[in-house]
Amino acid sequence: MNKIFITSSGTEIGKTFITTSLIKDLKKENYTVSALKPILTGFNEKEVSKSDSALLLEAMGLEVSIENISKITPWRYKEPLSPNIAAELENKPILFNELIDFSLSGTDEDLTLIEGIGGVMVPINNKITVIDWIKAIEIPIILVVGTYLGSLSHSLTAIKCLKSKNIKIIGIVVNESYSQPMSKEKTAKTISELTGSIPITTIPRIVDNKKMPNLIPLIKDYI
Ligand SMILES: Nc1ncnc2c1ncn2[C@@H]1O[C@H](COP(=O)(O)OP(=O)(O)O)[C@@H](O)[C@H]1O
Ligand SMILES: [Mg+2]
């Protein structure tokens, strides 16, 4: 039962996009795959189809229903804020042990992908951040970063934090940003020069009929 955690240097960088692409690539090659998005903020019960959880269910080929969403996303909050604050507003704190148990719960699939929330240091409650969550479950990660101006510092900060906790980084996905895009190749080269031997893949902005590159080579040793 293999698991990979998808995290990022921030929000809106492409975690869901990369996770759904991976699910589709894996299914095409006849792997069985499931995905979890344990914590979701900004969740509107009346507009579920746009939520990350709905996109993951769709990619898995499952019906987008509240029942299925609650199975992959037990912690759902209305306000589009960091989990600690959104949870406090609803008086529904995220208990670390419950989050760990859920993240480690077993499935029969070849691979389970877990999408984090926001960047690596987003607070989950008033004691822990995403990086503590990853460290506790000891699941290797893919780090998704952007190519917007400022991304290099965000990316290098995230990598330094992950390395300081000895978290296994399977690979880095440099995902071309919508605004202020810099060259994804130069972004990847700079990150590589400053961080060493982590495999890096670049993904263009997928517009019109541009083909999404297959992401399986990045994770082939983990399935
Ligand atoms: N490579 C890409 N090409 C086209 N659109 C993308 C790409 N990466 C992300 N997006 C879009 O950018 C937005 C933010 O990406 P998303 O995956 O939701 O970020 P995150 O999960 O990190 O918050 C979404 O609308 C998504 O479809
Ligand atoms: Mg997302």
**Cα–Cα distance, 83 to 95 (Å, whole number):** 12
Task: Using pLDDT thresholds of 50, 70 and 90, give the confidence band for residue 153.
Answer: very high
Contacts 24+ apart (CB under 8 A), 45-53: 52/15, 52/16, 52/115
Q: 25 pLDDT band (50/70/90 cuts)? A: very high
**Is the entire prediction scored with pTM above 0.95?**
yes
Q: Which among 114, 117, 112, 187 is positioned nearest to 148, based on CA atoms?
A: 187
Cβ–ligand 1 contact at 50 (below 6 Å): no
Check if the beta carbon of residue 59 is closer than 8 Å to that of residue 24.
yes
Q: Kindly state if the Cβ of 8 falls inside 6 Å of ligand 1.
A: yes
Of 208 and 72, which is predicted with more confidence? 72
Tens-digit pLDDT profile for residues 155-194 = 999 999 999 999 999 999 999 999 988 999 999 999 999 9
> What is the helix (H) or strand (E) element at residue 193, kind and residue range?
helix 184-195
Strands in 141-145's sheet, in edge-to-edge order, are 33-36, 111-115, 2-8, 141-145, 169-175, 200-203
Give pLDDT tens digits for 113-131: 999 999 999 999 999 999 9
Is 37 designated active site? yes
- The residues spanned by each domain of the chain are 2-222
The CA 188 to ligand 1 mean position distance, Å, reads 18
Task: Give the CATH architecture of domain 2-222.
Answer: 3-Layer(aba) Sandwich (3.40)
Ligand 1: does its nearest atom lie under 6 Å from the Cβ of 68?
no
Is there a contact between 87 and 11 (Cβ–Cβ < 8 Å)? Answer: no
